[in-house]
Amino acid sequence: MVDELRRVKDQLAAAEALAADHQGFSREGNIHLARLRSVELFDGDSNNGIRVCPVCQYELSAEAVPAISEIEQSMQQFEAQVRVVEERSPRMDQVLRTLRERLENTKQRPRQNRASSEAVQTTNGRLQEIRDHENKRAYVLGRIDLYLESLQYIADTSELRREIDECKTRIAFLEEELSDEVIQDRMESVLSILSRDMSAFARDLRLEHSESPLRLDLRRLTVVADTDYGPIPMDRMGSGENWVGYHLITHFALHKWFVNKGRPVPRFLFIDQPSQVYFPADKDVDGSMEVLANEDREAVMRIYRLAVEVVQELRPNFQIIMTDHADINQEWFQSRVIERWRRERKLVPDAWTRR
């Protein structure tokens, strides 16, 4: 590479020197031609070939001044030589450009080689890291193989082999039980059971759309009635009485399933004022049901009868705690009243709020 660079430099220097000589020769030649062209002032008569001095008009004969013709001939030859040199100048310029480009390419090649060499070194470093990692991996595998070979052989009929087979069988069973298809089938089965209980509870409470099948929509977390005119979600099922009723039957159905299946869910349900939509606070004096219309009284009693029936069905594994204004004057209700907080008797005594 160094020898080639030196050789190109020498060729370029020689070409530049030659180009300089050509330019010098052409420049000097043109100067001399300009001087020699003064001989053309001696124009002779075209008939007799007599030349006349341009200054004194004296006729000059060819024999008297024989050097004029020689000078003209020499001038023509010299001019031809100058033109040849000038015609070759463009080719010389092309040679110079070619040599300069070759010199620049030769200079660029070491830089490119240096960059390629650095890239190769970087790649070699990465390859060395990979080789080191593979060597370490092979070393660890070799140590593991050596350890396993040093262990006592375990027969296929050993207790450990039996336990391994049992674990594999158990794993396969669990994988099958947890598959998406099995889970989806079980979920649909549970929703079907909930739908059955919700529909029965809704008929007991005489809720709107209770004559249609009901279901729990897990995607939107709401109750839907599947009527002949299409599905109707709970927010389109009418008044607040229906909303309270559908919330209650959904909770009752869910807790019934949790208890029957022994699921790890608390075994109680706390409900606050389920009769509020029937029993406004401004009518609450002593909790008497007489302030309510007959239809509203019957609706409140249906709620509490259903709650009692659910607790009796799931006893002793389920409890419902209710706080409410309503005070139904019947034995089945009064026997289940634990405390009355009215007038001066309160759940949170006034003394607790005093400073």
So what's the pLDDT on residue 313?
A: 95
Pairing state between β 222-227 and 214-217: antiparallel
Nearest to 267 by CA among 202, 334, 223, 315: 315
So what's the pLDDT on residue 45?
A: 42
Q: List the domains of the chain with CATH numbers.
A: 2-127 (1.10.287), 183-353 (3.40.50.300)
Q: Which residue has the higher pLDDT, 32 or 128?
A: 128
Residue 76 burial (CB count, 10 A): 12
pLDDT(55) > 60: no
What single string gives the DSSP state of each residue in 104-157?
HHHHHHHHHHHHHHHHHHHHHHHHHHHHHHHHHHHHHHHHHHHHHHHSPP--TT
pTM: 0.50
Distance CA 57, CA 63 (A): 17
So what's the pLDDT on residue 101?
A: 75
pLDDT digits (tens, 9 = 90+) for 27-47: 666 666 666 665 554 444 444
Lowest mean pLDDT among 66-75, 198-207, 231-240, 295-304: 66-75
pLDDT digits (tens, 9 = 90+) for 211-244: 999 999 988 889 999 998 899 998 888 788 889 9
Nearest to 304 by CA among 342, 286, 330: 330
